[in-house]
Amino acid sequence: MAKSFHLEVVTPDRSLLSEEVVSIVAPGVQGYLGVLANHAPLVTELGIGVLHIRYPDDTEEQVAIEGGFMEVAHNRVLILADAAERPQDIDIQRAREALLRARQRLNDPTVDRERARAALERAINRLRVAGVELGKVLEED
């Protein structure tokens, strides 16, 4: 039985989860990184991506993360995310619209490309976590 540790995910408007977990893989700005029990103390910035969680009963969960920070210390992991959503909380229709809108804006030379790209990335991330196939969304367009 793998050792477990405590994971807490909080966002500005709520505390999303606080559970015992066995391992996580978090979307760091410099690439995904895995954390197991007894990890060395660490503070890092998170980018837009998927947080993979494995629980002691071997179930897994994915959470969409939109940037933030992660602190690992004393077998506790704290994630301060700008936004975090579980698959069932994701509004697929909205994410789909955001994706198409962001794609259009990227073709428009007058808009802020950085912002449009970030919006596109967030929308893709949400849809991925919600289990929607991106190809289908783009075909429908």
Partner 1 sequence: MATLRQIRQRIRIARNIQQITRAMKMIAAARLKRAQDRVMAARPYSEKMQTLIGTLALASGSVEHPLLQVREQVRHIGVLLITADRGLCGSYNTNIIRRCMEFVQQYEQDQIRLLTVGKKGMQFMTRRGYPSVQHYTVPMSGPTVAHAQEIARAAQEMFLSEQVDEFYVVFSRFRSALVQIPTVQRLLPIEPIAMEDGRVEHLEFIFEPSSEELLRRLLPRYVFNMVYQALLESTASEHGARMTAMSSATDNAGKMISTLTLNLNRARQAAITKEILEVVSGAEALKESM
Residues interacting with partner 1, by CB under 8 A?
8, 10-15, 28-30, 40-45, 69, 71, 73, 78, 80, 82
Spell out the long-range contacts of 11-14 with Cβ–Cβ below 8 A and sequence spacing 24 or more: 11/68, 11/80, 11/81, 11/82, 11/83, 11/84, 12/82
Which CB sits closer to partner 1, 41 or 135? 41
> Least distance to partner 1 from the beta carbon of 73, Å?
6
Of residues 76 and 117, the one with the C-beta less far from partner 1: 76
Give the residue with the Cβ less far from partner 1, 55 or 69.
69
Rounded to the nearest whole angstrom, what is the least distance from the CB of residue 138 to partner 1 in the complex?
28
Strands (E), the chain: 5-11, 14-21, 23-28, 31-36, 42-54, 60-73, 76-81, 84-85
Mention every residue, 6+ apart, whose C-beta is less than 8 A from residue 33: 25, 26, 44
8 Å CB contact between 120 and 102: yes
Shortest distance in whole angstroms from residue 11 CB to partner 1: 6
- Least Å distance between CB 114 and partner 1? 15
CB closer to partner 1 out of 13 and 58: 13
